[in-house]
Structure 1
């Protein structure tokens, strides 16, 4: 996991506002900052490329891409790797 340092933050008022916001949400200040960054960097309503392409395909005449995935557990390779 990555970490960041935010410099030159207006310490008094911003930190106080973050503490109040975190308390209202029932989490720590650090958890609140993570939640804020997550919501801004990866908004829930964003368009996902795969969904968009599937919708365009349906509008262009439609085709059904039913892909059946192999649900069996993966098997180890038949080649054995040894250290020299």
Structure 2
């Protein structure tokens, strides 16, 4: 896993995160991880493949059986950022 250092974080922000972490019963570090995960993986996010499949279904291009086939073949793991090294 990666490590991230955040420099010049305002004291008020750090204090607010510490308080929020205490309310959730976890460490400040765990709270920051949760905040970052929620920010980058919102629950209502529509993935491109799912969107295209739903458009095709609505347009009459896919039957329920075809849609189920695509859904079962879809890779469900989160996408990873491209490495340009």
TM value normalised by structure 1: 0.70
Question: Unaligned stretches of 5+ in structure 2?
Answer: 73-85
Is 1:35 matched up with 2:12?
A: no
Q: Give me the whole-angstrom Cα distance separating, in 2, the residues matched to 1:15 and 1:32.
A: 11
Q: Which has the higher helix share?
A: 2
Q: Give me the whole-angstrom Cα distance separating, in 2, the residues matched to 1:32 and 1:43.
A: 16
Matched residue, 1:50 = 49
Q: Give me the whole-angstrom Cα distance separating, in 1, the residues matched to 2:29 and 2:20.
A: 11
Matched residue, 1:77 = none
Question: Unaligned stretches of 5+ in structure 1?
Answer: 70-84
| Superposition RMSD in Å | 1.9
Superposition deviation, residue 26 in structure 1: 1.1
Runs of at least 4 residues off by over 3 Å:
none
TM value normalised by structure 2: 0.69
Residues 53-81 of structure 1: CA deviation (Å, up to 9, x unaligned): 111111111423143x7xxxxxxxxxxxx
Is 1:15 matched up with 2:14?
A: yes
Q: Report the structure number with the largest CA radius of gyration.
A: 1
Count of residue pairs the alignment pairs up = 68
